[in-house]
A and B are shown apart, each in its own frame.
Chain A
Amino acid sequence: MSSKIHDEGSPGAVEPLPTDDDIIIIEHAYKSFGKTQALIDASLRVKRGEVCLIFGPSGGGKSTLLRCINHLERSDSGTIIVDGIPVSDAKTNIDLVRAEVGMVFQLFNLFPHLTVLGNVTIAQEKVRGRSKAEAEQVARQLLERVGIPEKVDAYPGQLSGGQKQRVAIARALAMNPKIMLFDEPTSALDPEMIKEVLDVMLDLAKEGMTMVVVSHEMGFAKAAADRMVFLEGGRVVEEGSPEELFSSPKEDRTKSFLSQILE
């Protein structure tokens, strides 16, 4: 480990030291599904307000790492601390942590039996205990912000993929989360819909939201990411600022992977 002073000159290469700034701390996480090792000694730190992009080949453990943050996946061993709360501790009431961590899924996972408004209000009412009127006001504001105020009374089945994902983002934001997790948010979308979702995410990043994004959208990475993490075979192969990884990756594997997806 090099000292902090040493890195001062090169922006983006700040050594992740354990400070109060780190809202997400994952240390030495292991996870296996049967014989497959999904995570091997994976460690990750995300600072408050940072946008962290996780990328790598499929089966590399990207989604598993992301899902460990809000405990949708239980790590076999290792420490995971989110906003000072040990998620991996069995005594932690995980529901309280999850309420502070929004998540957006690849396949949207909207609730098909509820309207768009219902999707965005239900957790506010049942988890946050907000009144119906208050929840609806928040929902309408958010739907305005993601650009689909006219769809409040539609059902998810009546929306396009891009619209669904924007509702899903609004649904997560309605809980006023401290962190937003995105699990390949644009992978299931038609090309022309990817932009409308990325625009919403860019706005969010500009507003200073802490975001962990699993994605191969390198345009988004260049525009918004503070840090990029390359994951393969369950291991963190390399991490650094977008400038570093795009211009001079340290590992050959990172270089070849990036050159493939940037083609």
Chain B
Amino acid sequence: MTIATEVEKSESKLVPWTSRLQKMPWWALILVLLGLLVAYFIFVSPTYQDAFFFLVSGVRLTILVSVVSFVAALIFGLVLGMGRVSKNVVFYTISSLYVEVVRGIPILVLLIYFAYVLTPFSLMLLNALGDVMLRNVAIAPLMGFAERLASLNIQDVDMLVRAIIGLAFAYAAFEAEVFRAGIQSIERGQMEAARSLGMSYFQGMRYIILPQAIRRVLPPLGNDFISMLKDSSLISVLAVRELTHLGKLNRARTFRTFETWNTVAFLYLILTLSLSVLVKFMERRMAFDE
């Protein structure tokens, strides 16, 4: 008995040392080393330097597109998410249809479809509306507006705008589901308490349900923002000069394939990893608060 406990004791002294070694985040260390390696190359190698300075201007656009699209997707997604939990049949049906259709189509296809089918189609409709107004409405202040509508050209809609709106529409469907889950995770009694105090359904949503639901879905929203940042590379097919498109251009310009795509991957990793650290921090704070 005593021997056994002594063996256990000596083992338990050993365990922390080895387990600590095992628990080290080796992957993070390797990642940092790789990052340092690329940074070193950028610092010393002229070809890497060339690629880096050419590509870094694309980072700005990648961030801009991601942020603007994501904010738009959040607003639209919140409306759709409320539709998904709504008892109003029309609101619920439209929201559900949208979510199911958009989630069922690859984002790349959605982007192309929006940019080359929906946008021209909407412009055609606007042109037709302008024509009708010009012919039938003889109100002076409206004439300028009608002429503007009738003369709208497909080139007036910048590819960057189409890309941002396309991404926002695609992601709205995902955010809608996040918001729906968040709203449904709040106990039924919360809305009942709000209603029993005389609040309307929308007051209950606004002051009681949504503040709690949004807090709960902040970590998944953060993860979706990281996904959005990565998926913004898809808009390179619309020739928007973001990071990935600049990568293609740089390779065509210099024929330096390795340097180009190493640097592109490096820049994306810096963005996504720093964001995921932020999300982890947020998650921990949320867990602590609850």
Contacts and interface: CB of A to CB of B under 8 A. Distances in A.
Interface stretch (B67-75, B159-167, B190-198): B190-198
B189 A127 contact: no
A175 B198 contact: yes
A126 B192 contact: no
B207 interface: yes
A105 interface: yes
B198 A98 contact: yes
Given A99-B198, A172-B196, 5 more contacts: A72-B192, A111-B190, A111-B212, A122-B207, A123-B194
A210 interface: no
Interface in B147-202: 187, 189-190, 192-200
B57 interface: no
A128 B197 CA distance: 10
A88 interface: no
Contacts of A175: 197-198
Contact of B189 (A102, A105, A122, A171): A105
A133 interface: no
Given A72-B192, A105-B189, A109-B190, A127 B198 contact: yes
B218 interface: no
A73 B119 CA distance: 47
Given A111-B208, A112-B212, A113-B211, A72 B197 contact: no
Interface residues of B, number: 18
A110 B193 CA distance: 8
Contacts of A99: 197-198
Contacts of B196: 70, 72, 98, 101-103, 172
A134 interface: no
Given A95-B198, A95-B199, A126-B199, A113 B212 contact: yes
Contacts of B215: 113
B47 interface: no
A110 B190 CA distance: 7
Chain A interface size, as a band, is: 20 to 34
B262 interface: no
Question: Which of the listed residues A102, A107, A109, A128 has the most CB atoms from chain B within 10 Å of its own CB?
Answer: A109
A70 B194 CA distance: 12
Contacts of A101: 196
Given A107-B189, A122-B207, A127 B195 contact: no
A96 B197 CA distance: 10
B203 interface: yes
Contacts of B211: 113
A126 B212 CA distance: 18
Given A105-B189, A109-B189, A126-B207, A172 B197 contact: yes
Contact of A127 (B187, B203, B208, B212): B203
Interface in A151-186: 168, 171-172, 175
B270 to A, nearest CB: 35
A87 B16 CA distance: 67
A123 B203 CA distance: 10
A99 B192 CA distance: 13
A53 to B, nearest CB: 20
B192 A109 contact: yes
